[in-house]
Structure 1
Amino acid sequence: MTWAFVVLLLAGVLAACGGGGDSGSESADSAARAPAATSGDRDAGAGSAERAPEGAGEGAGAGAGPGAEKPRAPLTAAREVVHTASLRVRAEDVNASAAKAKQLVTGAGGYVERESSRTEPPRSEITLKIPADRYGELLNTLGTQLGTKLSLSQEAEDVTGEVADVAARVRSAEASLASFRKLYERADSIDEIIRLENEISERESDLEALQAREKSLKNRTQFATVTVTLVSKDAPKEPEDDSRGGFLGGLESGWDAFTAFVGGVAMVFGWLLPFLLTAAVLGLPVLAFLRRRRGRVSTVAPAAGGSGPRPEQDKPEQQEAAGPSGG
């Protein structure tokens, strides 16, 4: 039995060693297959990357690396800007400079919107419409070739949102009008036809108003407005702005307000003076006459009262006289 027990123990140990060797060999085989599969996946990924479009490969590579260059943002749409400028020029010959300004603008594709001029002293004011793409160039030319530039002010208004909103509303109005016209074609009753005609007329008026607004915006963005004022050398210079602040500025403003108030009161008094004099000339004699008449009435009243009977004073005397006799 001792030998049998030893044999069984040896058999168990050998069986355990054999199972561990098999499991170790299996894990080794799986480990060997795993790198092979990984390399196969890499080869497949490389093949798919080669087959992918060139742009897709670049995008994937850019997003993979931490230090890779970020993709560029798309360019923004062009802005719709309304340009306005006011230019004041001192010219030797106002008429010649005005003709030259109009010639420069019309030659560049613009036009003259409004013009006013006078002879004494010579002065001309021209409102010009200049193509937006040549606005800066022509503004510089007008400021240098017409004479001596005295002042220049410019403004720019971004109306991109308004232009997009009006365009969207125009498209919506057109689609709505087209829908109503289709319904009008399929209408089969008089009431429905009349209702659809009214709706179509309202939609058409709204669409025309939106189209007019869109056209105005388009004209404002395509053409810059430049107002050129031409003055002669003999024209007086514009007063400079010498406004001051602080105590002296407040004192000066207060004095100006006080003098303006006094001047206004004097003007009102001067306006009323003729009426006051007329009232005095006509009213004083009437007032004197009324006073004299009141004095006469006051002197005549006591005299008339003294000659008349005084019943109130006689009654006590009569009572006193009748008292003893009655007793």
Structure 2
Amino acid sequence: MQASGTTTLRRAPRLLAPLLLAAALALTGCSGAGSSSGGDNAKSDVRADSADSKGAGGGAAEPGGEGAAKATKTPKLTGIHIIRTASLSVRVKDVPDALDAARAATESAGGYVGDETTDRDGHGHERTRVTLRVPQESYEKVVGQLTGTGRLLSRDQSAQDVTDQVVDVDSRVASQRASVARVRELMDKATKLSDVVALEGELSSRESELEALLARQASLKDRTTMATITLKLSEAPPAKAVVKDDDPGFLDALSGGWGAFVAFLRWVVIVLAAVLPFAALVALLVLVWLRLVRPRLPRRPAPQPAHTVPGPLPSHPRSGPGEQD
């Protein structure tokens, strides 16, 4: 009995080995079939997708077609908040017509016209300053349209990334709303009057802070969704007529001489007017000298004439022989 039992135990591993090998092969075949079926399904899905895309596009996408345009289109950035501003100065022939064109371009893009100021410069030329608000996706298009209305004098564009500010404000708004909700729950559970009064003060303070955060959040949302364009329109001065220079004649010479004479008289009058105060001062000093100072000065005695004694008369020369006296 013991020998037969031992023999049976020794044969058991030999019998189990083929069974385990068969089970392993069976499992491998099942997994291979599953993977092959999954691969076939994946391939069929890919083919179906490609067929759908070809059907939607009306066949293979041609170069320059709608499919190529969609493929080359720049994807829109998500999760980034940017404030865009621009300042344009354009010289146009007619300011009212250019202003109407700017309004039409802004309104067709889904924007609106803000502040507007119109006046005239020192030469009587009309000029206008207007603020335009347009959506961010139409910003570049509207700027190009406004630039093409006339001669561009200056352009200043800026883009400010405020993503951090938007995320921070949104987080603070959510936290503050939760805080207000907790205070209100405590107020509902409060039974003492002192607790209710204290909680009301705390609730009022937190609600005020929440309103300030909501106002800042709305401002950031407005500036990141709508771009601001400041447009300055000025009227171009009229072209000056070219005057042909002819040969000067008698009247031209007479007119030029009269102009030179008038200019000379003008300069003489100007010089006299400049010298007149000094001449009046000199005349006043001379008058004071003659009337006040000079009469008070001591007079010097007149010099006596010198008396001279006449000397002997000179002798007459004698005349020679033959000469008469």
Which TM-score applies when normalising by structure 2? 0.52
3-state DSSP of counterpart to 1:109:
coil
Distance 1:226 1:88 in 2: 11
Q: Which has the higher helix share?
A: 1
Give the direction of change, closer, same or farther, for the CA distance of 1:76–1:92 in structure 2 (3 Å limit): closer
1:173 corresponds to which residue? Answer: 176
State the distance in 1 between where 2:195 and 2:12 align.
86
1:188 aligned counterpart, secondary structure: coil
Aligned-pair RMSD on alpha carbons?
3.2
Letter in 2 for 1:201: S
Secondary structure of the structure 1 residue equivalent to 2:110: coil
36, 40, 49: which one pairs with 2:26?
A: 40
Q: Is the counterpart of residue 125 in structure 1 residue 126 in structure 2?
A: no
Change (3 A) 1:48 1:203: farther
Alignment of 1:41-80 (within 5 A): 41-46=27-32, 77-80=78-81
Amino acid at match of 2:146: L
What is the letter of the counterpart of residue 204 of structure 1? Answer: E
CA 1:169–1:76 in structure 2 vs 1: closer, same or farther (change >3 Å)? same
Distance (whole Å) between structure 2 residues aligned to residue 162 and residue 175 of structure 1: 20
Q: Say whether residues 1:228 and 2:231 are aligned partners.
A: yes
In structure 2, C-alpha distance between the alignment counterparts of 1:114 and 1:97, rounded to whole Å? 16
Equivalent residue, structure 2, for 1:98:
99
- Structure 2 unmatched runs, 5+: 1-6, 46-75, 239-325
In terms of mean alpha carbon deviation, does 116-125 or 205-214 score higher? 116-125
Q: Please list the CA deviations of residues 232-281 of structure 1 after superposition, one character each: whole Å capped at 9, or x if unmatched.
A: 2239xxxxxxxxxxxxxxxxxxxxxxxxxxxxxxxxxxxxxxxxxxxxxx
Equivalence for 2:205 = 202
2: CA distance, partners of 1:123 / 1:229: 7
The 3 A distance-change label for structure 1 pair 114 and 76 is: closer
Report deviation, 1:188. 0.9
Equivalence map 1:1-327=2 (5 Å): 32-46=18-32, 77-120=78-121, 121-144=125-148, 146-234=149-237
Q: Displacement of 1:164 after TM fit? A: 2.1
What count of residue pairs does the alignment treat as equivalent? 193
Q: Which amino acid aligns with 1:106?
A: E
Cα separation, 2, equivalents of 1:76 and 1:222: 13
Q: 1:142 is aligned with what amino acid?
A: L
In structure 2, give the amino acid aligned to 1:130.
V
Shift of 1:100: 2.4
TM norm structure 1: 0.52
Q: Residue in 1 aligned with 2:62?
A: none
In structure 2, relative to structure 1, the CA distance for the partners of 1:76 and 1:96 (3 Å cut) is closer
